Each structure stands twice: as C-alpha cells, then as structure tokens.
C-alpha cells in the first residue's frame, strides 16, 4: 500500500520543519512592514523586503474552509472520508492542514471555530495538524 507523502525540506523551509520537530510552529515575518507570512521564503511577499525573520507563532487558528474528501489520495485509504482544511493563524497567514480530534462531518466542522496546532510524526518530519483548543 502506498505511504502518505512525506515533505522534503529545502534550505529556505528547513527552519519551519526544525520548529515542527521541536513542537513549535515557526513562521516568518517582515522586519520592515511587519507582516507575518507563510509559506517560508526569503522575501516578504507584501513589500519585497529581504529583511525577514523567523518567530514562533501562537499555534492558535480558526477554520477558514475545507472539503471532506471521499476519494482518498494514495496512503489515505483508511482515513476516508477525511477533511482537507485551510486554517487562518492568529497571526494572519493561512495554511493547509488536517483536522484531528473531530469527526469529518459538516456538523462537527464549523467555519471560524477555534483550533490549536499539534504535531504528528510523518516519515522523518513532524507535520503540523490542528484540533480543538485544549482547556
């Protein structure tokens, strides 16, 4: 059976994956315009500045949109149907993710619900996923 895809870090994304391995969601922001952004790259997409820095995001997010996929990708047969979601981080940027700890149903997955990052092992990396906030 096919395995789930494992991301292959590149030099500009390695700090992100190192953060995940340490249990932290590290993303970038611009030292000039101040805007946080994702995915990792060495230039601010808002203003073009190369003065960018890494920081550890709060890990808090809200559910922005999703689908519940009934035709599993290779490696995901046992998960189907499963949600493929996009969350909006408290710091602004959005990222694709999986939703854990909630059923993959429209009733359970309400847009704008608060979520919190957690990390799951995938091959030799840790993958950020999101689930309900823990009290």
Binding footprint of other proteins on the chain (CB under 8 A): 4-10, 13, 38-39, 64-76, 79, 81-82, 84-86, 94-98, 106, 111-112, 122, 127
Nearer to other proteins, 107 or 135 (CB): 107
Nearer to other proteins, 96 or 135 (CB): 96
Instruction: Work out how close the CB of 67 gets to other proteins at its nearest, in angstroms, rounded to a whole number.
Output: 4
Instruction: Work out how close the CB of 28 gets to other proteins at its nearest, in angstroms, rounded to a whole number.
Output: 13
Nearer to other proteins, 75 or 135 (CB): 75
Nearer to other proteins, 22 or 67 (CB): 67
Instruction: Work out how close the CB of 32 gets to other proteins at its nearest, in angstroms, rounded to a whole number.
Output: 21
- What's the per-residue H, E or C state across the chain? CCCCCCCCCCCCCHHHHHHHHCCCCEEEEECCCCCEECCCCCCCCCCCCCCEEEEECCCEEEEEEEEEECCCCCCCHHHCCEEEEEEEECCCCEEEEEECCCCCCCCCCCCCCEEEEEEEEECCEEEEEEEECCC
């Amino acid at each position: 059976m096919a395995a789930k895809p494992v991301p292959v870090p590149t030099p500009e994304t390695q700090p992100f994956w190192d953060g995940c391995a340490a249990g932290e969601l590290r993303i970038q922001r611009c030292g000039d315009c101040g805007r946080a952004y994702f995915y990792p790259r060495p230039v601010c997409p808002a203003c073009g500045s190369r003065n960018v820095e890494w920081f550890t995001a709060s890990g808090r997010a809200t559910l922005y949109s999703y689908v519940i996929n009934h035709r599993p990708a290779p490696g995901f047969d046992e998960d189907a149907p499963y949600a493929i979601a996009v969350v909006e981080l408290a710091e602004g940027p959005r990222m694709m993710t999986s939703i854990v700890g909630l059923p993959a149903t429209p009733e359970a997955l309400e847009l704008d619900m608060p979520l919190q990052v957690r990390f799951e092992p995938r091959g030799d990396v840790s993958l950020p996923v999101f689930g309900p906030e823990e009290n």
